[in-house]
A and B are shown apart, each in its own frame.
Chain A
């Protein structure tokens, strides 16, 4: 079953909201902010990071309710709020709206687990708030509480494959009638652990001044999904979610455009042969669940009917998409797993 995308919201290094992301995508990338060619490692200093601001959340939620919410959950809350606004559900949600939160590193990367390995256990003088914010489903808990989402709820943590697994779970819920509407998205927070993980993933050593292809980022992207209906016939869709392992044979419906997150796309089984490919990672950076940003960018490409100013040189300038575009958002994990989310009209 395909799922209708009724709304989207995103916050990241580009700013806050789809309009900010679209504005960034319409700008021509500066030569020193993107790789010279897909898959190559052009100059960007290892320390370069793209961080997200969440000030826009403050007028939306009463301060008392926000006072214990950390940056990780604030990003997720803000992206969720914007997705519901985009879906025109800001003033009232269907009763059994579901919630799925995907993360690669979770909140602990930024809090408790970065304590030195040799610290004595008794040094753990935990505050209830710090402990609560370290629990892996903290972001989902805050979204549910503050946006009054009372339907099915799940948090998943599968490193770089968390986004496709979350979207697949949302489609499962819609298909089996568990809910009619799902708010599904991803969040990861910049931290020492994420910084090191990303450096490692890009073949560089920790903070040693080596240069990377992309900046390290953080952010959150959320989507409101429903079952397809006549009412939503103009909405874009999630057509497929595909998961696999490099070296295994799978059938991939070849999309017209692939948004490439990292590495040459031929690595994904040699099965993906797109006519065009695009990359906007320079706008939000690399982090485990940055595929969520790719999906948001894909929606904007569908709205614009063109590639906009991708960082891929041969498609710079934004050629038009075909009449029935399918955009595959591909994530190739460090572990040999890959996932692809295919969106289209």
Chain B
């Protein structure tokens, strides 16, 4: 992998169970006010707890705009915040080459049930499946909402989709195809994934405990995070500075197992090395690693051994105890948290981590901790053996 030109991140938006905006989320995760996961409201009788976004967090819908499912509403909320953070007027985007790249799990299926439930009052049986598909396709919906004419694509790399979306968006800016790209991930809770993870025996019946001795599975969550990636020329013409730089992106497959990571993290290693090479960084330059840290026994074991081997002594942590595993949104939400942590010069505690597992060689911190440096790495490991890694830098730490 060659060194790549870094791409400016000029705005960030985030919505999840921890907060309705990135500042709210950051306040929650640094004050250790983790929302408690609870059984899903929409699934009576379901016991495995999840991190739901309270309805009051969602902006009111523009009326009349009924055909907007939850994953799209979450994406739109985060996109609006990101545009505002970047100081970009959505109206002005119509005159620029603006692309949209969004990762998701749920926002790409063709579900009668989910759509009918969410679009209360609308009989989805009258919609063609094509209309149903495009109603829930977040990239298409965001592009149409803002009247954008650039390319738009929905990435469906399971749990790494949000990170991959941001990485692919970087190439769209670098190649000159777009001036601005709205990139990130979104996912809403959905009964198929909820019962699917239970079927895979990957869901905890209590709050998740990433890297803990007693970790016993994940909690699903929902949310969205969006970043505004912008060309240097456009940013300079607006007299703005980047909030952070997307310095590197790596992706690689394990080619090992459908639902379990490679025991030595072979694909993860390739993705990390590619991301570091693209950023022109060494492992020692990494101030901290935002780990995937789902709370499942195998994921956390693989990551602990990998981080111990590749980033010896580097601090790392997982934020899933604040958000749940937001699947297609996770890579983007955690990328947003990574940048926010660099800006603060501190990384959040790993909520749910209490007792170190003596069988693991490296452990996260149970408390918020100071970090040194201006470069950080966030990694996601996904269904099917996908591994996605992003490296961000900020001009200076806190």
Contact = CB atoms under 8 A, between A and B. Distances in A.
A144 B1 contact: no
Contact of B112 (A117, A125, A135, A197): A117
B157 A137 contact: yes
B: interface residue count bin: 35 or more
B137 A197 contact: no
B195 to A, nearest CB: 5
Given A106-B108, A144-B253, A153-B386, A132 B258 contact: yes
Contacts of B83: none
A112 interface: yes
A154 B124 contact: no
B383 A200 contact: no
B256 A114 contact: no
A85 interface: no
Contact of B251 (A121, A128, A152): A152
Given A126-B195, A135-B158, A96 B270 contact: yes
A281 to B, nearest CB: 17
Interface string B182-204: 00000000011001101110000
A155 interface: yes
A4 to B, nearest CB: 18
A138 interface: yes
Interface in B142-184: 149, 151-158, 164, 168, 171-172, 174-175
Contacts, number: 218
Given A113-B111, A144-B255, A176 B154 contact: no
Interface stretch (A76-84, A241-249, A310-318): A241-249
Contact of B124 (A112, A117, A168, A197): A117
A122 interface: yes
B140 A131 contact: no
Contact of B137 (A151, A158, A245): A158
B192 A134 contact: yes
Contacts of A152: 250-253, 274
Q: In the complex, which of the residues B128, B175, B199, B384 has the most CB atoms of chain A within 10 Å of its own CB atom?
A: B384
B131 interface: yes
Contact of A197 (B117, B133, B195, B384): B133
B66 interface: no
B92 interface: no
Nearest to A195: B129
Contacts of A148: 255
Interface in A130-146: 131-132, 134-138, 140-142, 144-145
A140 B251 CA distance: 14
A201 interface: yes
B153 A165 contact: yes
12 contacts: A106-B108, A112-B192, A118-B113, A126-B192, A126-B196, A136-B105, A141-B258, A141-B386, A154-B168, A172-B171, A196-B129, A335-B140
Interface of A: 68, 96, 99, 103-106, 108-109, 112-119, 121-122, 124-128, 131-132, 134-138, 140-142, 144-145, 148-159, 161-162, 165, 168-169, 172-173, 175-178, 193-194, 196-197, 199-201, 243-245, 248, 334-335
